[in-house]
Chains A and B, each alone.
Chain A
Amino acid sequence: EAGVVQSPRYKIIEKKQPVAFWCNPISGHNTLYWYLQNLGQGPELLIRYENEEAVDDSQLPKDRFSAERLKGVDSTLKIQPAELGDSAVYLCASTEGRGRDIYEQYFGPGTRLTVT
C-alpha cells in the first residue's frame, strides 16, 4: 500500500512569490491534515479536513495561506505571498477515522520550503 505522497520535496522561492504544495493521502483515508514543522520542533497543525470539509482551520494564517480538498481526496496548500518566516517543512498526514474516532495518523515525507 502506498503511503502519503507529497510534492515537491523541496522548494526554494524568493519572498513575496507564491508557492503550492500537493498531498495525496493513503487510499480510503477520510481525514487529511497539513502540519508545519520548524527546525527542531514538533509538527503544528495548520488545517484538518474530513473528506472535503475543513473542520479545523483555526491555526491557518488566512491572510496568506489557503488550502483546498475539492473532491475529498488529494489536497493543495498555498502560500501567497511567501515570507522569510515561512521557511519550514510542510507535512501532510492522513488517517482512516474522523471526528472522535481514534485511528493512527500517517505522515508524508514533507516539502521543505526555503524562502530567500
Chain B
Amino acid sequence: GENVEQHPSTLSVQEGDSAVIKCTYSDSASNYFPWYKQELGKRPQLIIDIRSNVGEKKDQRIAVTLNKTAKHFSLHITETQPEDSAVYFCAARDNQGGKLIFGQGTELSVKP
C-alpha cells in the first residue's frame, strides 16, 4: 500500500523567512496530494492541494510542487508569520478508493 514520508519533523524559522516541507510517496498511482495545517487542539484544515496532472500550484504565500517521476511533493511558505506556527501534514490519495495516507507531520515554529 501507499506510504508517505515527511521531513523535517520540526522546523524553526524567523519571521519573514521561507519554510519548506518535503514529502515522498511510494505508490505511483496516487493522484491527489493535499496539505493540512493543524493548530494545537484543533481540526486539520486543508490549506492547499495538488492533483497529479499539475506540477505546481500557488495560493498567496503558499505553494506546492509535485515531481511525479521522483514521487515527491513539497510545501513552500514564503514570508512566514507567527500565525503560520502549527503542525503541517502532507497526504497522498490512492487511486483506488480515496483513502488519504498522511505523513508524520512537521511542527513549524515561526519566531517573531
Contact = CB atoms under 8 A, between A and B. Distances in A.
Contacts, number: 57
B98 A97 contact: yes
A48 interface: yes
Given A40-B105, A102-B32, A105-B34, A45 B99 contact: yes
A113 to B, nearest CB: 14
B44 interface: yes
Interface residues of A, number: 26
Interface of B: 6, 31-32, 34, 36, 42-46, 49, 51, 89, 91, 93, 95-100, 102-105
The A interface is mostly helix, strand or loop, or mixed, namely loop
A104 B7 CA distance: 23
Contact of A107 (B45, B97, B99): B45
B45 A42 contact: no
B98 A104 contact: no
Interface string A45-66: 1001000000110000000000
Q: Which of A4, A98, A100, A101 has the most CB of B within 10 A?
A: A100
Contacts of B104: 41-42
B97 to A, nearest CB: 6
A48 B98 contact: yes
Given A42-B91, A42-B103, A44-B102, A102 B31 contact: yes
